Amino acid sequence: MDRVYLDAATSLPVRREVLEEMLPFFTEHFGNPSSIHELGRIPREAVERSRGHVASLISADPSEIVFTSGATESINLAMRGVLPFLKERRKVIISSVDHMSVRATASALTSGGYVVEYLPVDDVGRIDIGAAERMIDEETAVVSFPFASSEVGTVQPAGELASLAHSAGALSHVDLTMSALQMPVDVGECGIDMATLSSPDLMGPKGVGALFIRKGVKITSLIKGGGQERNLRSGSENVPGIVGMGAAARIAGERMEEDPARMRVLRDRLIEGLTSIPESYLNGDPENRLPNNANVRFSYIEGESMLLMLDLNGISVSTGSACAQKTLEASKTLLAMGLKHEEAHGSLIFTLNPTNTEHDIEKVIEVMPGIVSELRAMSPIYNMKE
């Protein structure tokens, strides 16, 4: 059975072209970039070339890119690394639709005496600018938010939020993990101070990420050692991984018009087909959303049951972030948007990738009505309604 993969928000394949560029750095160009001989020079040049590709994707300067082990480390470096230079400011603000890695990092700061506040969102998952104006003040050190929600796809007002942070003398951190493959991002135009990027979400290798740090932002390292990455991230560089991330970023930039436009057409067809099922609804902003995201709730049934039945039909989807699915808790993002627990539990996330086809979408549209009908027939709540 050929599987239909619609869970791109949790993992993506590495592009074959990316893998091919990585391979020589495992066996031929294996030297340490810090070495001054030729076997060090070639990897060092490759790392800097990759830094340029990542910078170009978000319209940054290569000197503003620091490579890390992934998005989670980048988030920790951004949110924790600037605090020693903002000692008089004891408040950190994140959004109520942030990924678990941001939530956990912020929560850990409370043990050091920091106050964490959460920006509310409206019923489509968009951060409330009015609330942000009231909450961001001279006590605020960092304001962190996603460029777009990983769960419902709603694009956030990044420029406005960064401007509010600057007006109060605070720094802004933006999670670009979900958006960098799908949307043009100009960190300078948005006024962003720091931004997290993830290699696997660009169709590059896992175990690599990057943090954009605007020139002039003071930040200290969390990992001490040999002083690599301008002394901001010690440890011998993962050269094959960095080369892979650079290649993935370059290809993403080259295909920025073609791939998102194609995914948007498939996504719209998927939303049309799924919401034609009685009492099925789209979660998130119907217009201003990521081109690959369709978060749909189906009344009277649970997402886990639908996920398992789709899996038996060769279709992979999600009920939330991969980190959160283990707990089986209702999505904090959907609850923050005002959904009831049972509505949040009845939601599925379909996230496309550039390899998806019309056949994939039509297969989902074909099997989903039967799954919903079968599960509703077993639902006491649905039968009581009848």
| Catalytic positions, written as ranges | 323
State how beta strands 65-68 and 4-5 pair.
Answer: unpaired
Question: Each residue of 210-241: b (16+ CB within 10 Å) or e?
Answer: bbbbbeebebebeeeeeebbeebbeeebbbbb
Q: Alpha-carbon Rg of the chain, whole angstroms?
A: 22
Q: What is the dihedral of CA 239, 242, 244, 250, to 10 degrees?
A: -140
Quote the CA–CA distance of 213 and 224 in Å, as a whole number. Answer: 18
The residue whose two tokens read 């056949």 is 359
Quickly list DSSP for 27-76: HTS-S-TT-SSHHHHHHHHHHHHHHHHHHHHTT--GGGEEEESSHHHHHH
Alpha carbon 351 to its chain's center: 12
The residue whose two tokens read 């893998």 is 19
